[in-house]
């Protein structure tokens, strides 16, 4: 981040050469910090309401550490996804308040949790026990972004009464995240039960012709229930982020 740029910008604002709106606008768009192997978008917090999230897959431990270190200098809450235990070890040494959500493979630093509206609940549902890691990635992401999250796991449609039993929870929720592998039918049944935004997350759980989650993905895209937005296979983070954006709308 070019500190000089921001300085001069702020001085100009103080001197009246920039209105408040103009200054905010400029801050929203420009600066980032260049680490050579990464360009940190420090002002994403302003533009998108949450700091840049580190996608760890394919990065070296050293890269993850350096990026989180720099993000920590400008933000109070930081999230890293698809993190290995080894990455967590390195991060914890440098930032002892980092927490590791093992199932969800998330590293989280939460120094000043954002406030959450208790009346607007995000409900995370999973079809099976095996889908829980992805569901947790979604749930923890949404919590860190300032949302109240409720979880209902293992309510797949083969035992429809388990699902119908959750009708009250579904009606009380503001946004639904539905996580399912295999044939992903849970999404269609839930989608037909309520007029709420449903975010569908296909998982790679299953075997044979599920082809790494393709079966659930195609199912969800082709759902006979309208009002469903689908994210990538196993992309709990994306679902949590989208749910949070919707949930913060006024």
118-157 residues near a copy of itself, rule: CB under 8 A = 127-133, 153-157
Question: In the sheet that 54-55 helps form, which strands lie side by side, from edge to edge?
Answer: 54-55, 77-81, 106-110, 99-101
Are 50 and 44 in contact by the 8 Å Cβ rule? The answer is yes
The least distance separating a copy of itself from the CB of residue 5, rounded to whole angstroms, comes to 11
Which is closer to a copy of itself, CB of 25 or CB of 97? 25
Q: Cβ closer to a copy of itself: 85 or 212?
A: 212
Please name the residue that has the structure tokens 């070019």.
Answer: 2
203 closest CA partner among 212, 194, 190, 193: 212
In the bound state with a copy of itself, the residue whose beta carbon lies nearer, of 30 and 73, is 30
Nearer to a copy of itself, 73 or 160 (CB): 160
Q: 14 is written with which tokens? A: 């103080």
Q: What is the DSSP letter of 57?
A: T
Rounded alpha-carbon distances, angstroms, from residue 113 to 6, 78, 83, 144, 146: 27, 10, 21, 7, 7
Binding-residue pattern over the window 174 to 213 for a copy of itself, x denoting contact by CB under 8 A: x------xxxxx-xxx-xxxxxxx-x--x-xxxxxxxxxx
In whole angstroms, the minimum distance from the beta carbon of 235 to a copy of itself comes to: 6
Say whether 125 sits in a helix, a strand or coil. strand
Residue from 82, 142, 144, 170 binding a copy of itself (CB under 8 A):
82
Tell me if 47 contacts a copy of itself by CB under 8 A.
yes
Among 8, 14, 29, 94, binds a copy of itself (CB under 8 A): 29
């Amino acid at each position: 981040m070019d500190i000089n740029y921001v300085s001069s910008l702020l001085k100009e604002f103080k001197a009246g050469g920039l209105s408040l709106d103009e200054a905010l606008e400029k801050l929203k768009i420009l600066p980032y910090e260049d680490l050579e192997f990464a360009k940190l978008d420090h002002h994403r917090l302003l533009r998108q309401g949450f700091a840049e999230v580190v996608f760890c897959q394919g990065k070296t431990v050293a890269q993850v550490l350096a990026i989180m270190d720099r993000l920590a200098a400008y933000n109070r809450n930081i999230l890293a996804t698809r993190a290995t235990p080894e990455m967590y070890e390195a991060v914890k040494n440098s930032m002892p308040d980092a927490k590791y959500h093992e199932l969800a493979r998330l590293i989280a630093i939460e120094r000043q949790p954002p406030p959450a509206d208790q009346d607007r609940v995000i409900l995370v549902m999973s079809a099976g026990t095996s889908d829980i890691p992805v569901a947790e990635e979604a749930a923890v992401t949404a919590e860190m972004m300032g949302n109240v999250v409720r979880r209902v796991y293992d309510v797949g449609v083969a035992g429809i009464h388990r699902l119908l039993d959750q009708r009250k929870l579904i009606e009380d929720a503001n946004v639904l995240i539905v996580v399912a592998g295999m044939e992903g039918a849970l999404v269609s049944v839930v989608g037909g039960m309520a007029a709420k935004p449903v975010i569908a997350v296909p998982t790679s759980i299953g075997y044979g012709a599920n082809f790494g989650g393709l079966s659930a993905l195609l199912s969800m895209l082709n759902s006979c229930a309208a009002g469903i937005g689908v994210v990538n296979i196993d992309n709990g983070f994306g679902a949590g982020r989208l749910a949070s954006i919707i949930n913060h709308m006024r």
